[in-house]
Structure 1
């Protein structure tokens, strides 16, 4: 897709390393884009600072050599996994964009992971981010989604297939969901079905929102439908239920509500949704 040339995927901690890498590759393949993976390791400067304090010695040198060897082993293991998964996904490994072909690269940086991600994530068109473990917002996830200035496709930690034929928009009237709809327009225009849901709480204070949003989408050739839904007592459950019930491939939602990243559109916390979703979210 011509509007997206470069994706960025930050590798956070936790399990599902291979599944997360493969899921991001699947997205890159679908979008026919280049994707850069960034992993982070301890800043080696800290090791040498420790050496100055401890004034070296045989014990310290043995510790340093062991740690450096472990870091090298980890880098090589990650690189081998990356290359194997690229082959599986039929994606060429390259640090350059190749016209009409999905490509990928893997790099390991030194430093605090969230700081590395916050910096590196600014140099792409779109982020691909894995749901954090157990739905709990991590520093890496927050750095990518909230501090990059970019839109994100948040994928389940194990994703084998990616498509955007059927898209659900969770409309809450926030600045972020408005921006997300506009930035996802390249996907909406190619979708076969677009459905919008909202709540009576929002529609009661914005009675013309339905007509205005559908008209805006129609200007881009997107023929969408609209539905008012009732939230449940469990925050985030109504959004997930509607996404699953409607067999949607992707949800477009706000990355924040009134309380920052702790809330998602339709008035619920992200935790339930991120912990349970098997559906990617554009935010």
Structure 2
């Protein structure tokens, strides 16, 4: 799959520089355009949430504070985006540059709900990049991450909660034979074709047909010039734990996998591989639902 346009929601906080840097690593491998998106919440929408019994002056004061906070976040976003552009010699443009394989970038400011904007603009992008949810911060909102995964129809690159130095040189494919996993692999092909090492991991139970499926995937990747090795692991604990451990064992800098291959409600309530990886992974994950 050609990746020409990447949507990158940013909030202007401490994570903004390494989210942009993570997007740049992927964009550099594919010659893509980075569309950084900053969504400023509408203070008027917060009025119904401020609570009953508040006076008009109190509500007005709260709205003024929200406006000032929004303006400050937007200012920090612009400053950090400009720093990123200068540090990486990225070309600024809002239009495609014919015959240009270099990374380009633009910054879009919008107002409203971030999850709705990501859902809308993600549908007309090739990839969405964000960090995994941070339990110690309101960035990124879980509802926005879910919008990227479930509502855009596009793959999502989920970054860890720390800067990433390399991406795509040593790739782990977590394969379970699902259509979601197949879509993730198609999205990762530009990186897989350039990777130094590709490992296919399968978590196998007794009489599992997944080993045969892994051979089929290895053959398919061979047609793209990708030489992959298969690592079959017995399911002696949760699949999420096994995938994380094997990725560290192989020294991988990217994990490719399907997202929420079971019901979204079941995985949110009971847990699952996707939820485990979203909550704990220290390695970037390219996932697709």
Task: Classify the TM-score, shorter chain.
Answer: 0.7 to 0.9
Distance 1:244 1:58, change over 3 A: closer
| Mapped contact 1:36–1:106 kept (Cα < 8 A) | yes
The match for 2:88 is 89
Q: Within 5 A, what are the aligned runs for 1:93-242?
A: 93-98=92-97, 99-134=100-135, 138-201=142-205, 204-206=208-210, 208-234=212-238, 236-242=240-246
| Mapped contact 1:262–1:269 kept (Cα < 8 A) | no
Classify the secondary structure of the residue corresponding to 1:84: helix
Distance in structure 1 (CA, Å) of the matches to 2:260 and 2:238: 17
Matched, 1:269 2:269: no
Distance in structure 1 (CA, Å) of the matches to 2:128 and 2:118: 11
Deviation at 1:172, TM superposition (A): 0.4
| Mapped contact 2:91–2:104 kept (Cα < 8 A) | yes
Deviation at 1:93, TM superposition (A): 2.8
Q: CA RMSD in A?
A: 3.3
Distance in structure 2 (CA, Å) of the matches to 1:107 and 1:257: 32
Distance 1:239 1:262, change over 3 A: farther
Deviations 1:14-58 (A, max 9, x none): 8623332333234333433211111222225548999xxxxxx88
| Mapped contact 1:137–1:271 kept (Cα < 8 A) | no
Deviations 1:217-238 (A, max 9, x none): 2222222111211235345111
The match for 2:27 is 28
Distance 1:93 1:29, change over 3 A: same
Deviation at 1:175, TM superposition (A): 1.2
Deviations 1:189-237 (A, max 9, x none): 2222211111223861456313322222222222211121123534511
Classify the secondary structure of the residue corresponding to 1:168: strand
Distance 1:241 1:43, change over 3 A: same
The match for 1:53 is none
Distance 1:192 1:119, change over 3 A: same
Distance 1:5 1:203, change over 3 A: farther
Distance 1:108 1:260, change over 3 A: same
Distance in structure 1 (CA, Å) of the matches to 2:23 and 2:57: 44
Distance 1:255 1:59, change over 3 A: closer
Deviation at 1:96, TM superposition (A): 2.6
- TM-score normalised to the size of structure 2? 0.81
Moved more, 116-125 or 131-140: 131-140
Deviation at 1:149, TM superposition (A): 0.6
Distance in structure 2 (CA, Å) of the matches to 1:183 and 1:202: 31
| Mapped contact 1:92–1:104 kept (Cα < 8 A) | yes
Moved more, 210-219 or 229-238: 229-238
Moved more, 94-103 or 245-254: 94-103
Report the number of matched residues: 275
| Mapped contact 1:165–1:193 kept (Cα < 8 A) | yes
